[in-house]
């Protein structure tokens, strides 16, 4: 069973992008609980063994599933919050989006900053179990 299925639709000015998605519970009291996360490279979303580069400035759909275990009873009135971002941090390899081997890219290859526009047609499906005892 898949715990969550995500379909992101966006356009970028590059041939590739690394992204992450974090799923939170926001309680009625305003407390956030991290439920799950996903980190991926858009060019490997369709096929994890063969890279499929994106076409710059064209709407792209990237679908993926997350099999990380999510197990938390959500309080009545809680909300699900999803944060999507470009994965750039000191502890990760940076994908500059040139389409070259990411191991060989440098900031000089990037030339222009990454621009990303979400179309508003992204979706997420969550597996939910109803505990009817409470």
Q: For the chain, what are the domain ranges?
A: 4-126
pLDDT digits (tens, 9 = 90+) for 57-81: 999 999 887 666 667 888 899 999 9
Cα–Cα dist 109/104, whole Å: 9
pTM of the model: 0.83
The residue ranking higher by pLDDT, 65 or 32, is 32
> With DSSP H G I counted as helix, E B as strand and the rest as coil, what are the percentages for the chain, rounded to 5?
5, 35, 55
With 80 as the cut, is the pLDDT of residue 52 above it?
Answer: yes
Distances (CA, A) of 7 to 14, 16, 20, 36: 19, 16, 13, 16
Domain 4-126: CATH superfamily is Galactose-binding domain-like (2.60.120.260)
């Amino acid at each position: 069973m898949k715990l969550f299925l995500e379909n992101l639709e966006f356009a970028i000015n590059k041939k590739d992008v690394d992204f992450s998605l974090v799923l939170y519970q926001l309680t009625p009291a305003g407390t956030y609980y991290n439920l799950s996360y996903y980190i991926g490279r858009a060019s490997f979303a369709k096929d994890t063994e063969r890279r499929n580069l994106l076409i710059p400035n064209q709407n792209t759909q990237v679908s993926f599933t997350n099999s990380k275990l999510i197990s938390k009873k959500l309080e009545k009135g809680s909300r699900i919050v999803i944060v999507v971002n470009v994965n750039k941090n000191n502890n990760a390899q940076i994908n500059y989006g040139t389409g070259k081997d990411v191991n060989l890219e440098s900031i000089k290859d990037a030339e222009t900053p990454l621009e990303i526009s979400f179309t508003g047609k992204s979706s997420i499906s969550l597996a939910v179990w109803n505990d009817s005892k409470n």
